[in-house]
């Protein structure tokens, strides 16, 4: 559910950005009726997730998450990295303020909501209503987002104390996020979809 990073890594292509969001709602083989541009974005989303799973900085961050949170370390780190991307947005995307970038993504998602998987609709509506992308700058928003994920997992205490984990290791997570985001950006630029695009 780290929408900001996936949207940013998808670059300027609208279909890739739609696929970046759809990637959390399309499981297994890509449906044959999924538009090719969105399918390419879903493939990139999955490629980025696989890249993260093997990246040394991402692994280092996961190792900082211990105890009862360990099982969900990957989800926590994904969200923590969205926080650092948002908090340091001018360094990563200097040509456009985060609120303006977020507004453009919301407009794109609204204009093409009929092309997204049906399960995405309520999540995208909440994302727009509560301006998730801009609000990721705040640690409390990340904690709230993880709490919402825990409820969907039917494990309400899964992320209890996650804010303290982030605050305790803030500098380390931030350093790892910087390394990972730079490498993920290079990976995304080189990525070729299964159809060759």
Q: What is the model's pLDDT at position 193?
A: 60
Q: What is the model's pLDDT at position 68?
A: 82
101 or 153, higher pLDDT: 101
Q: What is the model's pLDDT at position 148?
A: 77
Rg of the chain on CA atoms, in Å: 16
Q: What is the model's pLDDT at position 194?
A: 56
Tokens of residue 28, six digits: 């297994």
Percent with pLDDT over 70 in the chain? 95
pLDDT at 196 over 50: no
Percent with pLDDT over 90 in the chain? 73
Q: In this structure, are residues 100 and 12 in contact, taking their beta carbons and an 8 Å threshold? A: no
pLDDT tens-digit map of 87-101? 999 999 999 999 999
Residue 134's pLDDT band (boundaries 50, 70, 90)?
very high
Q: What is the model's pLDDT at position 149?
A: 79
pLDDT at 34 over 80: yes
Read off the pTM.
Answer: 0.92
CA distances to 19, 140, 177 from 153, in Å: 23, 20, 25
- Measured between alpha carbons, how far is 2 from 162 in angstroms, rounded to an integer? 16
Say which range, 3-17, 42-56, 61-75, 165-179, has the weakest mean pLDDT: 61-75
When pLDDT is averaged across residues 163-181 and rounded to a whole number, the result is 95
């Amino acid at each position: 559910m780290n929408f900001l990073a996936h949207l940013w890594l998808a670059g300027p292509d609208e279909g890739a950005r739609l696929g970046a969001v759809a990637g959390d709602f399309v499981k297994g083989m890509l449906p044959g009726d999924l538009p090719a541009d969105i399918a390419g974005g879903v493939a990139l989303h999955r490629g980025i997730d696989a890249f993260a799973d093997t990246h040394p900085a991402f692994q280092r961050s996961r190792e900082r998450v211990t105890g009862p949170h360990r099982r969900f370390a990957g989800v926590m780190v994904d969200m923590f990295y969205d926080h650092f991307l948002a908090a340091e947005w001018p360094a990563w995307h200097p040509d456009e303020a985060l609120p303006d970038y977020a507004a453009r993504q919301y407009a794109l998602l609204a204009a093409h909501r009929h092309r997204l998987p049906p399960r995405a609709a309520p999540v995208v509506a909440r994302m727009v209503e509560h301006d998730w992308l801009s609000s990721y700058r705040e640690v409390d928003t990340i904690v709230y987002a993880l709490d919402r994920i825990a409820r969907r997992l039917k494990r309400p205490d899964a992320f209890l104390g996650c804010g303290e984990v982030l605050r305790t290791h803030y500098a380390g997570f931030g350093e790892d996020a910087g390394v990972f985001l730079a490498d993920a950006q290079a990976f995304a630029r080189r990525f070729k979809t299964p159809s060759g695009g």
